[in-house]
Each structure stands twice: as structure tokens, then as C-alpha cells.
Structure 1
Amino acid sequence: MTAPTHASSGFSLADYLRPHDTVLVGQAAAEPHELVAQLIDASQQIANLTVVCGYALSDDWKRVTRGKPRVATYSAHGPLRGLARSGEIDILPNHYSHFERLVTTGAFQPDVILLQLPPPDPDGYHSFGTSVDYVAKAAQAVPAAATAGSDRRGPIVIAEINENMPSTRTKWRLHHSQITASFTTDRPLEGTPARALSDTDHAIARNVASVVPDGASIQLGIGALATAIGRALREHRELRVRSGLVGDWLLDLDAWGALASGEDACVAGMALGSPELYDFVARHDRIRFMPITDLTASEALASCDPYIAVNSALEVDLLGQVNAEVVGGQYIGALGSQVDTFRATRIAPSGLAIVALPARSPKGATQIVSALSGPVTSLQSDIDMVITEYGVADLQGTTAAERAERLIEIAAPEHRDALREARRF
């Protein structure tokens, strides 16, 4: 077994890369920014590198040109949106949970795994910090640190060890012996880009809160609308969180006494937000992290009654089909874990799958549409309610004609007549 090397300066990722390597990169707040920058630099000299990434935050992605490196991803958020617009990324149309299956079965095996980790515990184990996901599973499957160079066999793990990355509570850990090379940093963790909450956000959030009972287990995600929903739930009590991604709304629920006490009040896959959020998930025994397949497993959902999954969308058609990926021929969203969490509502003793979105796009177009302009991210059969600022369309037990009418009623008033004329059933 080769001991990992450590360096605080003079580290060169290029020393560990070979032509035709596939590189798997950590995501969200666990994205290793220095390694991403060095990876993109190295791709100018090392031929045919393929990078597989997820929720990206580093502006260095904007330097990708002419397939150097080739970038494959499930998400076109943040800096990847511009790459999608210019045709510089390849979309991986897989459910989020499927990536875990790919890496655990060996169907997808990267050559190099890049991570950002907290310092190890006294036994030499690193928590995966703010992201316990398919990248963590791929890294944990590496038996021991491999040597670099042309003769290496199997994947290698390269890590940024960041003093600011919280050690979170999870059974998923990585021993230092599994890391081929690492260096230390103390850079602040990234947060999610924020925008001011609008009246529309608050109106949607109030409508969502009206269908969430006390004691529910909830999935919200991140972003302005998730933040607004969290604030709208301030009067609720004993809420539990079972969410693939949590943001600062978790702090709000706790501050207002809405978050349940006791073990596993919050189970999440990733955290992305403020330094206060990262401190919170590190300090509290009530917060635990696990991959999406564990989070939505039947035994994990047995105590969630009800489990309410709220996800956003770009469009919903008059059948209740959801497009969360493409608008105007441009890939700007993600398939992500929407289907995973919606289908988890069917596994729990009871549940609701809710799509929450503004009735109008930023340009004033209707987002309740007669026909989707992009792929079907979630099936009509997986959706229970669609909620806009104009109300709640309860689709449970409805015919196609009833669905259409209820969805038209929550569209923007100026678009309703056109939707009725365009309906096909």
C-alpha cells in the first residue's frame, strides 16, 4: 500500500493524469475548486480527458473550450449553463440515484476521483462533509491508495483537505490510506447564489404550507422558492426533513421551533448555503447525511407519515407531466433527484408529490402549458399536486379532463383562455 502524499504548495494535478482518463469531481459545497482549476489547465496539454461532474459552482468551468476537457453532467446549473448554451457539455440523462448504482456496480468506473474533504479524525477517517453522494460512494469503493503514473491500476483519489469543511454525521467515510495524494487549504466554502424573495415566491410558499401538516417529513431542495417555503412553515411543529439537498431554510425551521427534536430530525444528502448552515450541520446530533438511495429506501421511509416531496419545474402540461430540464431548446435545469423523491412518496405510508412553480416565466410566458417544450422529467402518474401563486391543483384521483381544468385554474389569468382552446382532452 502506498502512503498518500501531502503538500500545501507546489501540488500539480497533472502529475496524476493520463490521456483518456475519466475524472469524477465532487459537487456543490464539496467541489474541490483548486483541483477543478488545475484539471482545466491540465486538459490543454493532456489529450482526451473526460470530466463527470454534478452541481458545479466554480467559475473555472467557464474556461472549458473545444472539448478540453469533455464535460459530462446531469445538471446545467450555475457556470455549466453557459457551457450548455455553447454546446460544451454532454448531458447524462439519468436519475440521480442511478449514478450511485453505476459506480457501485462498476458499470461506471472513473480513473481519477477529485474530492474536497474535512480533516481526518484521530483514526484517520475523513467524513465526506457537505456532500454524501455518488462521488462519495465511488471514492469509498477504492480499496487503498494506488500509485500514480502509467502503470496504475484502478481509480485513484486526489483530495483537497479543507479546514473549513464540516465533519458531518454519516456512516460513509474515507480512510486516509485510500487517498493517493492530497493538499491542505482553508478557503471558505461556497454557498448557493441568492436572490431576493418575490411576492410570487411568498404566495407559492403559502399555498405549499397550506397542504403540509404538522409532523410531516419534507423535501424542499434549495433556491429562493425553497427558502420562501421554509419561512412559510414557521408556525408548523415537529417537522422532519428528509431532503436530497438542504439550504438555509433548515436554520429557519430550527430557529422558529418548527424542526423536530431528537435523533434524525434532518437526514440529507447535501448541504449548500451559508457558513452558519455548515456550522449547524457539523454541531447538531439531529443532522445526518446519507446518499439518495439510502435516503429514499423503504425502511428509511417507514416512519415518514406523510412524506411530502416538493420540487420545482420549468413547465407542467395539462396532463401534469413535468419538464425540469429544457426551455427553448436549451438545457438549463437538471433531471436530478426529482423522480427519486417523488417516487419515495409512494413508498412511505402516505405522501404527496408536489410541483411548485410560478405561473409565469421571467419573460411572462405561461409555465402551465398545453404541451411540454422539453423532455418529460416526471410522469403524470408521479404527481399529486401542482402549486402556483394562484392556488393548488390537486390531481389525485382525477381524470385527464379534470386535471386539465384544475391546472388551467392555477395558470396566470391572461393565459387561461388560450390553454382551454389548446387542450386536447
Structure 2
Amino acid sequence: MSDRIANAKLRGKVMTAEEAAEFVNNGDNVGISGFTGAGYPKALPTAIANKAKAAHERGEEYMISLFTGASTAPDCDGVLAEADAIRFRTPYQSDPILRSKINDGTTYYMDYHLSESGLYVEQGFFGQMNVAIVEAVRITEDGHLVPSSSVGNNVEYLDNAEKIIIEVNSWQSEELEGMADIYRINKLPNRQPIPITDPGQRIGTTYIDIDLDKVVAVVETDLPDRNAPFKPIDDQSKQIAGHFLDFLEGEVAAGRLTYDGYIMQSGVGNVPNAVMSGLLDSKFENIKAYTEVIQDGMVDLIDAGKMTVASATSFSLSPEYAERMNKEASKYAKTIILRPQQISNHPEVVRRLGLICTNGLIEADIYGNVNSTNVTGSRMMNGVGGSADFTRNGLISSFITPSDAKGGAISAIVPMVSHVDHTEQDVKVIITEYGYADLRGLAPRQKVKKMIALAHPDYRPLLEEYYERALAKAEANKTMQTPHDLATALSFHQRFQDTGTMKLS
């Protein structure tokens, strides 16, 4: 038995994943750890999936409602979706099998803001949380859990579940202990201000205290996180990163930013990671992050002495960088803080710190509305995640994207977005490889020229033609605030569905 289970009472609860899965019943609400492929349970999902398959073979129903921090991995979301074991899923996902099940109607999916999902569990919106399955680095003598590579919604699930199953993963470095900062927000209506005025402040404990009487099983594992490599930084990503730095330089010139006063948030993905890499050779020093995830680019900034604090709720690292983190966790714990996502994404703190936020998108329209989630309005990709937590409340909310996708078949700039996640009131800056559009202080019609300039050259004439048609309609109808021709506003999307490309044949 692992010496990572130091509590005598819980050492008596050690069993196999298959035995522990017997505590998870059909219809249960199951909250699990995990955020962007880090810190999720490794053994229980497969055991539950196998239990579901066996039940289905017997002609019995077996499906659970699954709650996470964010996305997990193929050996979690993937195996459960493949076994048709997920009836309902929230708040964020990225697994291709699960995505297919959501889009074909097998699985109900609710795309909640990450900062709110734990609160909704506390408030009982989904009914009773039956089981919490949480990965830990170790269990202390007092029975406290030391979180692994993510915190996410662990506290809310552990506090509200009837039963707790703990996976103690010896792959995770014991030196992660001390990195977490666990702070519970008072329950309504007795909430107090969150005492964070700087990203580097610690306000809680390094462990999660739990009700030991609720623990029904402890499972030992030795398995790695899902650590997908980032794509090599290509010329397009370098161009986008360069335009982002140009924008920051403009903020310095305007007196709104200093070279040692940049506090950032960054979404997940290859392009945001490239932007962080671009900061290595910039004039910016003493960079701080108050964000969701720690990516490779942030680790590079820390190693270079450019970033002094990185506060998040999870890692999202490539295999190489995950190995580095495991080997040198005690060193990085001096700079990195992992918080519950109710804290890492909390609007109150985001607004107070004055963050410059950077996220990705599927499409933006000529007035600056952004769709982050649904292709052609109905096909779910991953979810809004925490991007809206930061976009609505950040000091400057920017979106970065290549100008086209699918080999040029899809334009990232369209006449009207087919689904709205971030409204024009919240979106301040949009950046593609063709430049940046600073939309602050502009009325809708004043934004159009800047937005069309960001589009791929193949699509600019089509966008200009649409806007001219929309203007003519608006002038005739006296609807000039936000001109649209509703008959053709979604023509790009309709053409893509009909022909496989947004371009005119």
C-alpha cells in the first residue's frame, strides 16, 4: 500500500477501481476532479464505463450525470461517452466522442460559465450530488487531501456529495503539495469580499479538508495526465502574437499600461500559447497572470524571469513540460498558485485586478459579437468555458484567431455570428494575422471597416458587399444603428452547409 495514504481510517478503505465503481449507481450525479486534461481520476471512469457496458448488455439502463471542472481526457470523458454512460454533462468538454454524443442527442449538455458551475451545485440546481471522485497527490495524517495538478470544482463536489471516492495517484509529484490555495466562499446570503488584491496573494490552505465519514473508497493509481503537445509555432501564429504585442505597445504609449504592470489572462490553445512565447522577447517585465490554466508559454516566462506570479486553477502542459513540472514542482510552487475555479474565475477579482484577457473564438461578426462554442449555430465544439468570466469583467478583453479555417473554407469574420457567447459590449479587441481591431469607443457602424480588414482577403469583398446591402436596407427602414440584411445575414453559414465552403463557387 502506498505511503501516500497517511490516514489510518482511510487506509482501511483502499480497494480496486472495479470495487469502488459499485458505489456509483444508475442515475447518480457524479462530480469528478479534472480541468483541461489535468488532475482527473484515471481508474474510476474506465471501471464505471465497463459497469455501464455490462448493464447495457443485460438490457438494463445505466447512465450518470457527470460534473467536472472543465475538459478531462479520452480515458475519462472518452471511455464514458463511448459506453453511452453519460446522460447529462456540464460545464465544459473537449473530447471528440463526447462531442459526437452531445451533437447526436445521446447526451444532454449544459454549457455553464466555469465560475458559476460550483455555485449551482451548492444551490442544488441539479439535485443531490451523489458521488465525488477526486484525484489527490496524497492523504495527510489528518485525512486532508492534497490536490494534484488541478483544483477546479473539487471543493464543491467534496462538500456536497453523499459519498466520496479518492484516487491517490503516485505519478503526480509529491512536491505539488504547497502549490494549492484552498479558500471557501461563504454560502449565500453571507458572502464576504474575496481578499485578493494581487495575483500572488495566498488566502487559504494547501489542502482540502473533507468529511472522512463520507469516504467509501480509496483507489491507488500511477498514471499520467493527458498532456497533449502544442503544435509548433507557425508563421501565422507569430504574426498574431506580433499584432498582440503591437497592441500592448500602443497601450503603453497611451499611458494605460506600463512595462512592469501587465496582469494577464490567457485561454487555452496553440495560438494563446504562441502569444505568451512572443512575450519572451518583449519589453514587458514582472508579468503576472490571474487565469485558468498554466501552459507551456507561462512556464517559459517563469523560467526566463519575465513572469513573477501565475495564479490559475489547473495545468495544461505538453508531455515535456509536465515532466519538468513533476521534477521541479517545489521550485515552481514559489511562483504558481492553484485555486478553486470559483476563485480563479471570479468576476469580483477579475474586475479588481484589471486583467488584459486573451481568448480564442470560432467566429466574430462585423460588429464585434463573438461565437466561441457552436459551429453554424448548432454544432457544439467545446463550450464557453471561463472565457466569458474574464471577457465580461476584464479591463481589456481581446480575442485572437486565424482569419480562416478548414483550408480557407470557413471565414472567422462573418456578417452575423450564428450563435452569440460574447456580445459587442464586452468585446474590446480582435486580432488575426492581418492586424488588430481596437473596438473601444466605437459605435457599431464605426467598427465595420476595422473588422473587415481582419478578414482573409478572399472574404473581404463578400463582407463589403454584404455591408453595402445591409446599409441600403437600413437606410430605407431607418434602422441604421446596426445595419443588417436579415435575408442574407447568415448566407456564409448557409453556403457552408450546402457546399462545404463559405466562398462563392
TM (normalized to structure 2)? 0.74
Where do 1:60-209 residues align within 5 Å?
A: 61-63=77-79, 64-65=81-82, 67-79=84-96, 80-108=98-126, 109-139=128-158, 141-142=159-160, 155-165=162-172, 166-167=176-177, 168-172=179-183, 173-175=207-209, 177=212, 178-209=214-245
CA shift, 1:268, in A, is 0.4
CA distance in 2, matches of 1:308, 1:126: 33
Contact kept in structure 2, 1:76 and 1:84, CA below 8 Å: no
Partner of 2:278: 232
Partner of 2:397: 353
CA distance in 2, matches of 1:339, 1:293: 14
Alignment match of 2:291 (pick from 219, 243, 246) = 243
Q: In 2 relative to 1, CA 89–208 (structure 1 residues): closer, same or farther, beyond 3 Å?
A: farther
RMSD: 2.4
Q: Deviations over 1:74-133 (max 9, x none)?
A: 334134334335443322132111102112223333211111111123443212222222
Contact kept in structure 2, 1:3 and 1:180, CA below 8 Å: no
Q: In 2 relative to 1, CA 43–74 (structure 1 residues): closer, same or farther, beyond 3 Å?
A: same
Matched, 1:33 2:42: yes
Partner of 1:217: 263
1:57 maps to a residue whose letter is: A
Query: 1:119 is paired with a residue of what secondary structure?
Result: strand
Contact kept in structure 1, 2:92 and 2:111, CA below 8 Å: no
CA distance in 2, matches of 1:383, 1:276: 36
Indicate the structure (1 or 2) with the bigger Cα radius of gyration: 2
Q: Deviations over 1:151-174 (max 9, x none)?
A: xxx521112101232333212533
Alignment match of 1:398 (pick from 414, 430, 442) = 442
CA shift, 1:279, in A, is 4.8
Q: Deviations over 1:310-361 (max 9, x none)?
A: 000000011111111111442112111111011231xxxxx21001111111
CA distance in 2, matches of 1:312, 1:217: 18
Query: 1:229 is paired with a residue of what secondary structure?
Result: helix
Segments of structure 1 that go 5 or more residues without pairing to the other structure are: 143-153, 346-350
Q: Deviations over 1:48-89 (max 9, x none)?
A: 432324302124644435843324133341343343354433
CA distance in 2, matches of 1:268, 1:10: 30
Partner of 1:147: none
Q: In 2 relative to 1, CA 249–66 (structure 1 residues): closer, same or farther, beyond 3 Å?
A: closer
Alignment match of 1:309 (pick from 338, 357, 360) = 357
CA shift, 1:47, in A, is 3.1
Q: Number of paired residues?
A: 401
Q: In 2 relative to 1, CA 279–189 (structure 1 residues): closer, same or farther, beyond 3 Å?
A: farther
Contact kept in structure 2, 1:62 and 1:83, CA below 8 Å: no
CA distance in 1, matches of 2:448, 2:26: 53
Contact kept in structure 2, 1:62 and 1:82, CA below 8 Å: no
Partner of 2:476: none
Contact kept in structure 1, 2:137 and 2:148, CA below 8 Å: yes
Query: 1:180 is paired with a residue of what secondary structure?
Result: strand
Q: In 2 relative to 1, CA 101–60 (structure 1 residues): closer, same or farther, beyond 3 Å?
A: closer
Partner of 1:286: 335
Segments of structure 2 that go 5 or more residues without pairing to the other structure are: 1-7, 184-206, 249-256, 471-482, 484-505
CA shift, 1:192, in A, is 3.1
CA distance in 2, matches of 1:281, 1:380: 41
TM (normalized to structure 1)? 0.87
Q: In 2 relative to 1, CA 180–330 (structure 1 residues): closer, same or farther, beyond 3 Å?
A: same
- More helix by percentage: 2
